[in-house]
């Protein structure tokens, strides 16, 4: 490797040559470049974000911004386990729990691994991972509590009644809720659906960039639209060839759903739009679908991932033998939910 520079004095030239020789010797010995003396963790985070093909998402972006605020001034050459120990102490003192701190360190680990393998910098890539491991020795739990909340028939009926009494609302929440119950899709997936991704003959839809812990981009998946879902989609695409299927933003849907839960009498406590996915997934099993079939609908890769979304009871197994159920509330089913009104 040839490098050249011009200096005002012979002394400066010799100093520069010694530094270059030292760096080349370091690369030859370790395969990695030494970290520049002035480089900080904040610099590395900025470069990491600049090279990412996709938007990091709100949670990741907020966490990296916090890491820059708390640790950004730390020189990369000085980053060590003691620095991260003090960082953990500060986070815990500020009220963060084990799950939150573990997530912070996971995002930091991703940055350090990128710096070492993408930029070939000689930085300790396992530093954040080891710090995360230390949390259990502090007696902290790093696993979030698995949520098994799903709406009851009575709660869904109250929501539908609430929306039916407000026909002028901008978002057709009854339709979106029924679609979520009929598909098991996430809120963001529903709001991103495009008309051009729907196959009318096969009655399928392509979900673009479906959430996956190992594949963040390009994870497109074709899923079938079951009868209840197709009944919603068909009239929406009758005279359209492109564009957003529902024409709504995920944030707006979330706000409307939360507000409706608060405005019912009495209010519906601790229910989110994502909980509809829990109910839908459990209902798919109650219909008698097998694990691979349900996994295709929900996008889960393994049974371990899928299991937390199920709430199958012994009586459900017996009922599945007798007849299939519909995942969406139906006024036709005995004891089912009446769907009154269809807000515009």
- Of 110, 137, 164, the residue at which a domain comes to its end is 137
**Which CATH number goes with the domain that contains 115?**
1.10.150.130
| In a domain? residue 21 | no
Per-block average pLDDT, block size 10, for the chain (344 residues)? 62 66 51 84 94 80 94 93 95 91 94 92 90 92 76 95 91 96 95 96 92 66 95 95 94 94 93 93 85 89 72 66 55 44 39
Domain total of the chain: 2
198 and 109 in a single domain? The answer is no
In a domain, 112, yes or no: yes
Strand, helix or coil at 204?
A: strand
What confidence score (pLDDT) does residue 36 get?
85
Q: How far apart are CA 114 and CA 125, in angstroms?
A: 8
Q: Does 1 reside within a domain? A: no
5 is a domain residue: no
Tell me, yes or no, whether 187 and 312 share the same domain. Answer: yes
List the CATH number of the domain containing 187: 1.10.443.10
User: Max alpha carbon distance in the chain (Å)?
Assistant: 94
Same domain, 201 and 274: yes
Buried b (16+ CB within 10 A) or exposed e, 26-48: eeeeeebebbeeebbbbbbbeeb
109 shares its domain with 163: no
Q: CB–CB of 114/46 below 8 Å?
A: no
Question: Does residue 249 form part of some domain?
Answer: yes
Calpha distance 268→287 (Å, rounded): 27
Strands, E, within the chain: which ranges? 198-199, 204-207, 221-224
| Burial call 251-281: b when 16+ CB within 10 Å, e when fewer | eebbebbeebbeeeeeebeebbbebbbbbbb
Tell me, what's the pLDDT at 335?
A: 40
Which of 88, 112, 137 lies at the terminal end of a domain, its last residue?
137
Same domain? For 224 and 97 the reply is no
Beta bridge partner(s), residue 198:
205
Residue with the two structure tokens 């937390």:
308
Q: Examine the domain organization and report whether 300 and 159 are in the same domain.
A: yes
pLDDT of residue 107: 94
Q: 91 and 213: one domain?
A: no
Beta carbons within 10 angstroms of residue 183's beta carbon: 29
In a domain, 15, yes or no: no
Q: Return the ∠ at Cα 239 (arms to 236 and 243), rounded to 5°.
A: 65
Confirm whether 63 is domain-assigned.
yes
Q: Are 283 and 195 part of one and the same domain?
A: yes
Shared domain for 107 and 164, answered yes or no, is no
Verify that 127 and 232 share a domain, yes or no.
no
Q: Residue 332 falls within a domain, yes or no? A: no
Structure tokens at 254: 């979330």
Tally Cβ neighbours within 10 Å of residue 312.
15
Q: Residues 160, 303: one domain?
A: yes
**Is residue 132 domain-shared with residue 188, that is, in the same domain?**
no
Q: Domain of 42?
A: 32-137
Q: pTM of the entire structure? A: 0.63
Question: Which residues, in sequence order, are CB contacts of 12 under 8 Å at separation 6+?
Answer: none
- What pLDDT shows up at residue 333? 41
First to last CA, the chain: 68
Cβ neighbours, 10 Å, residue 18: 10
Q: What does the pLDDT read at residue 219?
A: 80
């Amino acid at each position: 490797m040839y490098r050249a520079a011009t200096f005002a004095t012979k002394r400066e030239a010799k100093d520069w040559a010694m530094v270059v020789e030292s760096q080349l010797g370091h690369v030859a010995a370790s395969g990695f470049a030494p970290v520049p003396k002035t480089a900080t963790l904040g610099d590395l985070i900025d470069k990491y974000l600049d090279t990412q093909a996709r938007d990091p998402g709100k949670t990741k972006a907020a966490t990296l911004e916090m890491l820059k605020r708390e640790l950004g001034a730390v020189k990369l050459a000085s980053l060590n386990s003691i620095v991260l120990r003090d960082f953990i102490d500060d986070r815990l003192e500020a009220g963060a729990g084990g799950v939150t701190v573990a997530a912070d360190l996971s995002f930091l680990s991703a940055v350090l691994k990128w710096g070492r393998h993408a930029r070939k910098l000689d930085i300790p890539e396992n530093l954040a991972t080891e710090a995360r491991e230390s949390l259990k020795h502090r007696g902290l739990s790093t696993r979030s509590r698995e949520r098994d909340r799903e709406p009851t028939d009575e709660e869904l009926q109250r929501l539908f009644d609430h929306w039916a009494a407000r026909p002028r609302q901008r978002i057709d929440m009854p339709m979106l809720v029924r679609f979520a119950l009929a598909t098991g899709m996430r809120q963001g997936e529903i709001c991103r659906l495009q008309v051009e991704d729907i196959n009318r003959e096969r009655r399928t839809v392509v979900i673009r960039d479906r959430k996956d812990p190992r594949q963040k981009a390009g994870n497109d998946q074709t899923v079938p639209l079951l009868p209840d879902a197709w009944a919603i989609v068909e009239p929406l695409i009758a005279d359209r060839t492109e564009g957003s299927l529902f024409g709504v933003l995920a944030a707006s849907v979330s706000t409307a759903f939360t507000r409706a839960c608060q405005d019912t009498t009495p209010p519906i406590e601790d229910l989110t739009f994502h909980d509809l996915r829990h109910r839908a997934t459990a209902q798919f099993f109650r219909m008698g679908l097998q694990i691979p079939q349900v996994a295709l609908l929900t996008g889960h890769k393994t049974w371990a991932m899928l299991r937390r979304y199920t709430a199958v009871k012994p009586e459900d197994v017996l009922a599945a033998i007798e007849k299939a159920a519909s995942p969406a509330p139906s006024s036709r089913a005995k004891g089912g939910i009446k769907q009154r009104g269809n807000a515009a």
